[in-house]
Structure 1
Amino acid sequence: MLGKRQSEADSAVISVILNGEPRQVREGSIADLVASLGLDVKKVAVERNRAIVPRSTLAEVALAEGDALEIVHFVGGG
């Protein structure tokens, strides 16, 4: 059984700009990236290449080499 380690090794690493900073991330969806950052997909707003990505589509939108992403995380408080 190959397990999770093999599937992680098969994932390519791509370069993106995340909140203004160059970053190397694994290929996958925007939702995968959000999860890898330890954020709740229900509490973020994402802009990809200057276009807002609807929250309902974050799991469907694949990251691509050179994407420019802005991720804003909402926190509660008063």
Structure 2
Amino acid sequence: MSVTNWISTNVFADNAFGSVVATPEFEPMEYLDQPWVTPQNIPALEQHWRELANTMDGWADADPFVSPT
């Protein structure tokens, strides 16, 4: 029995619907000793972030009850 299933059954008392604790199907600690991004890619990621932020800012400005004219 996996640790997550034991915790789910014995701590959360949820044995009817399976585990309430997410169980990854991969090794979550496998690449924690490596960087997620190289320094060369940081400017591209910043640009992508700005584009997403601008798009989402537009959502806040949109009024769903007023049709554009």
* TM-score interval, normalised by the smaller of the two chains: under 0.3
Return the index of the structure with the highest Cα Rg: 2
Q: State the TM-score, normalized to the length of structure 1.
A: 0.20
Q: State the TM-score, normalized to the length of structure 2.
A: 0.22
Is the helix fraction higher in 1 or 2? 2
**Higher RCO (CA-CA < 8 Å; seq separation 6+):** 1
Is the strand fraction higher in 1 or 2? 1
